[in-house]
């Protein structure tokens, strides 16, 4: 695969755009009278405690009402008070640790600007990965990344104090490493990511497990390196569990949450009564819900459906070719001109696997593990960690798509950028807030989307037919799937 040159100034440009788009969102309040709300308050208070006291105990921050610098009302109770009077927030510590210095220097605003810096870095890494790892043409990659960085939900979570965007950055780095040539340095980088992300939140562990399996597949044949990597990850996992037992009193941080203590323990975080059939609606709901779906705020994310279909077709075709190739006796020489070696998939299918599998894993976690899709947060929260992979999938698909398809993608993407601009203006003029303002902004296409909190039947069926048609259009015209990029 040819890798076109990627100017450094272009990486800097998308980084600045990602930072600017996120920073503009800081001007919009989280809720009425609050610059930070819900879980954001917990991360801020913990960051203050780390910066000033060197510990995770926020009992004194609560007692002295340190939240008054960013909110008019006391934050919701989340932390169970221990016998010794301490209070440890039920959130993993890496995000507060990252925010500790910015909070000590600039308070809540410093924390949000620091997160916006990560949003800029995410945009640059996404552009680099699209071009250097997946062969997306530079103009297409730059335009697509710019649109994603300047629209919801990536721009929103570029300043909302949640672990989603830092996790997205690290998971994207892991995929970039997996898509590159296997090397000792690459494996070390992958292990570092896998050992780090759980300290942002335990909810990312299923995706990390999939990334670890892909790492074992990519570095197959390097038994010594894999054994060392496995040992490091085992030690990191043991340390994670030991620290959580000692500090939070359970296997996860949720053991210190008053809500979960009262409702059956830390694993009640996934819900009291898990209805898998009901949650299965989120497979489409996360994309199409009238309020909390991605398409409601950035229509271009609808293109992830044919893009994923194309990735799947690439893998299926490669597996079929591989099966034909391995029928040759092991003693027979393998011609150099064979498109697929008996030892593995071709390069394009390999890249498709390392992109498709973690994206699917993240989507399934958001579907079946998260307690709810609708909550006190900006839409898309549970899929933000793998959303850059969705952007990559769309860009890879558009690389081989026709001019008309690219034009439709551009128009849809720019519509999403315009929506974000409308949200920013509404936050200054119409009382819009990131947590409670979904009904303030009226968008014409939202009435065409199903409301998965009730009355979704007919629209849901119509959209299922449309989604299947989008996938079918890719599978019925597979010529571009066989291109030799």
pLDDT digits (tens, 9 = 90+) for 358-371: 999 999 999 988 87
When comparing pLDDT for 50 and 39, which is higher?
Answer: 50
Q: Classify residue 140: in a domain, yes or no.
A: yes
CA neighbours closer than 13 Å in the CB half-sphere of residue 90: 26
Q: Would you say 355 and 311 are in contact if contact means Cβ atoms under 8 Å apart?
A: yes
Q: What is the pLDDT of residue 333?
A: 47
pLDDT-based confidence at residue 189 (cuts at 50, 70, 90): very high
pLDDT in tens, 68-98: 888 888 887 778 777 777 888 888 999 999 9
Q: Classify residue 412: in a domain, yes or no.
A: yes
Q: Would you say 285 and 380 are in contact if contact means Cβ atoms under 8 Å apart?
A: no
Q: What is the pLDDT of residue 474?
A: 80
Q: Is residue 336 predicted with pLDDT exceeding 50?
A: no
CA angle 86, 88, 93 (to 5 degrees): 145
Which of 105, 135, 162 lies at the terminal end of a domain, its last residue?
162
When comparing pLDDT for 328 and 358, which is higher?
Answer: 358
Which of 142, 162, 182 lies at the terminal end of a domain, its last residue?
162
Helices (H) and strands (E) counted in the chain, each on its own, are 18, 0
Q: How many domains does the chain have?
A: 2
pLDDT in tens, 208-218: 999 999 999 99
pLDDT in tens, 117-161: 999 999 999 999 999 999 999 999 999 999 999 999 999 999 999
Query: What is the largest distance, in Å, between two alpha-carbon atoms of the chain?
Result: 77
pLDDT-based confidence at residue 4 (cuts at 50, 70, 90): low
Distance of CA 165 to the CA centre of its chain: 7
At 373, list the tokens.
């899709």
Q: Classify residue 472: in a domain, yes or no.
A: yes
For 255-282, the DSSP string reads GGBHHHHHTTSGGGGG-SS--HHHHTTH
Q: Classify residue 479: in a domain, yes or no.
A: yes
Q: Is residue 263 predicted with pLDDT exceeding 60?
A: no
Q: Is residue 31 classed as helix, strand or coil in its secondary structure? A: strand
Q: Classify residue 234: in a domain, yes or no.
A: no
Q: Is 45 exposed, middle or buried (0-12, 13-18, 19+ CB in 10 A)?
A: buried
Q: Would you say 162 and 431 are in contact if contact means Cβ atoms under 8 Å apart?
A: no
Q: Classify residue 215: in a domain, yes or no.
A: no
179 vs 128, 158, 293, 429, CA distance in Å?
12, 25, 29, 45
pLDDT, averaged across the chain: 87
Q: Is residue 269 predicted with pLDDT exceeding 90?
A: no
Which of 129, 162, 195 lies at the terminal end of a domain, its last residue?
162
Q: Is residue 41 classed as helix, strand or coil in its secondary structure? A: helix
Q: Classify residue 173: in a domain, yes or no.
A: no
Q: Classify residue 419: in a domain, yes or no.
A: yes
Supply the pTM of this predicted model: 0.91
pLDDT in tens, 410-456: 999 999 999 999 999 988 888 889 988 787 788 888 889 998 888 78
**Could you tell me if 303 and 451 lie in one domain?**
yes
pLDDT-based confidence at residue 162 (cuts at 50, 70, 90): very high
**Could you tell me if 283 and 152 lie in one domain?**
no
What is d(CA 229, CA 224) in angstroms, rounded to the nearest whole number?
Answer: 9
Structural domain span for residue 74:
1-162
* pLDDT average, residue stretch 41-56: 92
């Amino acid at each position: 695969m040819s890798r076109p040159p990627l100017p450094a100034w272009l990486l800097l440009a998308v980084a600045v755009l990602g930072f600017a788009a996120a920073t503009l969102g800081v001007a919009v309040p989280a809720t009425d009278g609050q610059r930070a709300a819900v879980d954001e308050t917990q991360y801020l208070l913990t960051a203050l405690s780390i910066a000033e006291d060197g510990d995770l105990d926020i009992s004194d921050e609560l007692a002295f009402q340190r939240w008054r610098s960013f909110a008019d009302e006391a934050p919701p109770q989340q932390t169970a008070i221990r016998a010794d009077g301490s209070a440890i927030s039920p959130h993993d510590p890496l995000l507060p640790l990252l925010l500790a210095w910015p909070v000590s220097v600039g308070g809540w605003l410093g924390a949000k600007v620091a997160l916006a810096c990560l949003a800029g870095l995410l945009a640059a890494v996404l552009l680099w990965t699209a071009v250097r790892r997946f062969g997306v043409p530079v103009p297409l990659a730059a335009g697509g990344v710019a649109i994603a960085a300047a629209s919801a939900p990536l721009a929103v979570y570029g300043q909302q104090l949640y672990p989603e965007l830092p996790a997205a950055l690290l998971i994207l780095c892991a995929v970039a490493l997996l898509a590159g040539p296997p090397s000792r340095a690459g494996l070390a980088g992958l292990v570092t990511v896998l050992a780090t992300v759980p300290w942002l939140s335990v909810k990312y562990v299923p995706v990390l497990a999939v990334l670890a399996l892909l790492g074992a597949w990519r570095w197959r044949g390097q038994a010594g390196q894999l054994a060392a990597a496995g040992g490091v990850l085992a030690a990191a996992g043991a340390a994670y569990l030991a620290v959580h037992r000692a500090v939070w009193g359970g296997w996860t941080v949720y053991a210190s949450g008053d809500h979960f203590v009262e409702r059956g323990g830390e694993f009640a975080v996934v819900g009291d009564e898990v209805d898998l059939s009901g949650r299965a609606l989120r497979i489409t709901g996360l994309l199409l819900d009238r309020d909390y779906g991605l398409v409601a705020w950035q229509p271009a994310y609808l293109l992830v459906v044919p893009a994923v279909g194309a990735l799947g077709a690439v893998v299926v075709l490669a597996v079929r070719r591989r099966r034909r190739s391995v029928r040759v006796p092991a003693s027979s020489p393998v011609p150099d001109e064979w498109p697929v070696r008996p030892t593995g998939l071709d390069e394009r299918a390999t890249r498709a696997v390392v992109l498709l599998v973690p994206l699917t894993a993240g989507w399934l976690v958001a579907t079946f593990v998260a307690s709810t899709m609708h909550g006190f947060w900006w839409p898309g929260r549970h899929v933000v960690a793998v959303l850059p992979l969705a952007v990559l999938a769309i860009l890879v698909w558009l690389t081989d798509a026709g001019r008309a398809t690219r034009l439709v993608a551009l128009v849809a993407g720019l519509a999403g950028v315009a929506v974000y601009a409308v949200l920013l203006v509404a936050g200054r003029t119409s009382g819009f807030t990131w947590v409670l303002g979904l009904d303030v902004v009226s968008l014409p296409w939202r009435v065409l989307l199903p409301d998965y909190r009730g009355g979704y039947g007919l629209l849901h069926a119509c959209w299922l037919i449309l989604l299947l048609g989008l996938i079918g259009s890719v599978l019925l015209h597979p010529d571009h799937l066989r291109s030799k990029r």
